Amino acid sequence: MTTDPTPAASTPDDAPRALVTGASTGIGRATVRRLVRAGYRVLASARREDRLAALAEETACDTFAADLTNDAQVAALADHARSLGPLKSLVHIAGGAIGADRVEDGRAEDWSRMYDINVLSTLRLTQALLGHLRADGGGDILVLTSTAAIAPYPGGAGYTAAKHAERMIPATLRLELVGEPIRVIEIRPGLVETEEFSLNRYRGDAEAAAEVYAGVAEPLTADDCAEVITFSLTLPDHVNLDEVVIRPRAQASNTVVHRER
Ligand SMILES: NC(=O)c1ccc[n+]([C@@H]2O[C@H](COP(=O)([O-])OP(=O)(O)OC[C@H]3O[C@@H](n4cnc5c(N)ncnc54)[C@H](OP(=O)(O)O)[C@@H]3O)[C@@H](O)[C@H]2O)c1
């Protein structure tokens, strides 16, 4: 993919500002790159400071490390975002899957953690910055969920439960905020081959992680998702892409995937 950065130094002061979570890897990092190239000033957040520093070096984005499961760290991130000035787009990408167990074997602590990193983290940061979006004349709240938010698959119940729940945040906010100048966008990717998603899901088992994408001609890339995210945010303000499902051509549903092998 292209990583040609647009340094903040060449970005005008009145450029729109976006806060992107999950920016240390995968879809979040690709989104930071795309938004910077589209002329945004981006505040990139995740827990790993070294990853954020490398991205700042590459794109001249601002960074702030925060664990979104920690209320005090979310408050500090929101304070920092406010200190930078008006915010146009709040882009929730942080999240993830832990385990691929059948319901009968699922671990409650995994389900609980997935609820925290996918649902409550999105809730916390939305609550912390909604007032700032409003004060600055509106903007966008984008939530990256998943096709796991709209249909089950065997071994997926803990993750699909969390993503279904996360989906209720944009779905409900859109009803609650109608009439305000705030777009609420939900993007639902299917199979995306990223460095860490499946590795984390399978607790570091690289073979099991590779099997997820085995034989699939062209899984989506992080940059494919970033392109759709950037498109949705750069449409005219009155155009709201409510819900977007993106899948690779080789995937027809969560359970029907064409594999050549
Ligand atoms: N890959 C797929 O097939 C796929 C498909 C549909 C949807 N998604 C969703 O897309 C999003 C990004 O996934 P990905 O595939 O790009 O890779 P990923 O490895 O799942 O990325 C997760 C991101 O969330 C951050 N994160 C995790 N826990 C956090 C916490 N407690 N506080 C703050 N940040 C946290 C991670 O950064 P740190 O570890 O540095 O904190 C990382 O940047 C996730 O929400 C995932 O559920 C993925």
57 lines ligand 1 (CB under 6 A): no
Residue in 40, 153, 159, 213 annotated catalytic = 159
CA quadruple 17, 21, 27, 32: dihedral, nearest 10: 30
Residue listed under structure tokens 């809730």: 123
Query: Residues in the chain with pLDDT < 70?
Result: 1-10
46 lines ligand 1 (CB under 6 A): yes
Are 225 and 27 spatial neighbours (Cβ–Cβ below 8 Å)?
A: yes
Please give the angle made by the CA atoms of 87, 235 and 171, to the nearest 5 degrees.
Answer: 70
The CATH code for residues 17-246 is: 3.40.50.720
95 lines ligand 1 (CB under 6 A): yes
Per residue in 2-23, pLDDT tens?
Answer: 444 444 446 777 899 999 999 9
Query: DSSP string spanning 7-28?
Result: -GGGS-TTS-EEEEESTTSHHH
Contacts of 121 (CB under 8 A, 6+ apart): 21, 68, 69, 74, 92, 94, 95
Domain ranges across the chain: 17-246
Per residue in 112-158, pLDDT tens?
Answer: 999 999 999 999 999 999 999 999 899 999 999 999 999 999 999 99
Q: What is the distance in A from the centroid of ligand 1 to the CA of 189?
A: 12
Q: What is the distance in A from the centroid of ligand 1 to the CA of 139?
A: 23
Give the number of other CB atoms < 10 A from CB of residue 204. Answer: 9
Q: What is the distance in A from the centroid of ligand 1 to the CA of 51?
A: 13
Position in ligand 1 atom list of the atom nearest CA 192 = 3
Please give the pLDDT value at position 14.
86
Alpha helix (H) ranges present in the chain?
Answer: 26-37, 49-59, 71-84, 108-114, 121-135, 157-176, 197-201, 206-211, 222-234
68 lines ligand 1 (CB under 6 A): yes
189 lines ligand 1 (CB under 6 A): yes
- 202 catalytic residue (yes or no): no
Position in ligand 1 atom list of the atom nearest CA 94 = 24
